[in-house]
A and B are shown apart, each in its own frame.
Chain A
Amino acid sequence: MNGHVDAVFDALGDATRRQLFSAVASAGPVTATELAGDLPVTRQAVSKHLGVLAAAGLVTARRSGRENRYEAVPEALDDARTWLDEVGRSWDARLRALRRHLE
């Protein structure tokens, strides 16, 4: 658990980037130009958002001809999911104990 988790949450905190991440995940290796064709954003904006997703480890880029091809890295979500699971489980246990304490 570290800054990586924060980078993932920050990256996915933006609706356009979330949409972009799903698009990359379902399309497979895809270029910014191809993605911009399917989304209501410019190619430049797509590139910028892909940069943020790549910095968070959510996508990787591979050079292919004149453009990068982007691929999703679903495992990058694991630490963030672990954080949510652990915090949720902890509160479930604490609140069960609170109920026993009060009732």
Chain B
Amino acid sequence: MSDEPVVTRTVDLDATVDEVWTALTDDVERSAWFGGDSTIDIRPGGGGRVVEADGSVRRVEVGHVDPGRRLGWRWAHPAGGEASDVEFVVEPLPRGTRLTVTERRVGAYDVQASAAPTIAGRLIDLELLFLARSRV
């Protein structure tokens, strides 16, 4: 067993650095391979959330962004109460692109509520507003 709470995966992809970077940073693209609705404000301190293929939801806080090279975010465990730091490193290969993902457990931590509410989140807000109004 690894002595550190770290998981690393590397994949060589038949795609350009730009295509891989877009797949990570563009909401529509990311949602396509993550499996669920994904909205992240890609800038240091930006918030967001991802829905995984199994329907579980994770809140996200963006750490660092080095366009075309590195992207780091902290995300919450779907059950809450604990988080881990994810880093993506994108490197050009003679043919294709290497992507390395590292996830390091940071332990007990609460990722703040999403700064970029998803469509579902906005609908809930609308519903609450409607309920509040109907009571007046």
Segment from B28-36, B64-72, B111-119, B124-132 that makes contact with A: B28-36
Instruction: Evaluate contact between B107 and A3: CB separation under 8 angstroms.
Output: yes
Check if A66 is an interface residue, CB within 8 A of chain B.
Answer: no
Smallest Cβ-Cβ distance to A87: which chain B residue: B7
CB-CB under 8 A from A1, the residues of chain B are 77, 79, 82
**Choice from B15, B34, B82, B108 contacting A102 with Cβ under 8 Å:** B15
Smallest Cβ-Cβ distance to A14: which chain B residue: B3
Complexed CA–CA distance, A14 and B103 (Å): 20
Instruction: Evaluate contact between B33 and A97: CB separation under 8 angstroms.
Output: yes
Check if A48 is an interface residue, CB within 8 A of chain B.
Answer: no
Q: Specify the main secondary structure of chain A where it touches its partner.
A: helix
Q: Give the size range of A's interface with the partner.
A: 20 to 34
Complexed CA–CA distance, A98 and B35 (Å): 10
Check if B110 is an interface residue, CB within 8 A of chain A.
Answer: no
Q: How many Å from the CB of B71 to the closest CB on chain A?
A: 13
B25-75 residues with Cβ-Cβ distance < 8 A to A are 29, 32-35, 52-53
Q: How many Å from the CB of B31 to the closest CB on chain A?
A: 10
Complexed CA–CA distance, A74 and B2 (Å): 14
Instruction: Evaluate contact between A102 and B14: CB separation under 8 angstroms.
Output: yes
**Choice from A12, A87, A88, A103 contacting B3 with Cβ under 8 Å:** A12
Instruction: Evaluate contact between B23 and A102: CB separation under 8 angstroms.
Output: yes
Binding site for B on A (CB under 8 A): 1-3, 5-6, 9, 12-13, 18, 77, 80-81, 83-84, 87-88, 90-95, 97-103
Given contacts A91-B7, A98-B33, 20 further A-B contacts (CB under 8 A): A2-B82, A3-B108, A6-B5, A6-B108, A9-B5, A9-B105, A13-B3, A18-B3, A77-B1, A80-B5, A87-B84, A88-B7, A91-B103, A94-B34, A98-B13, A98-B23, A102-B13, A102-B14, A102-B15, A103-B14
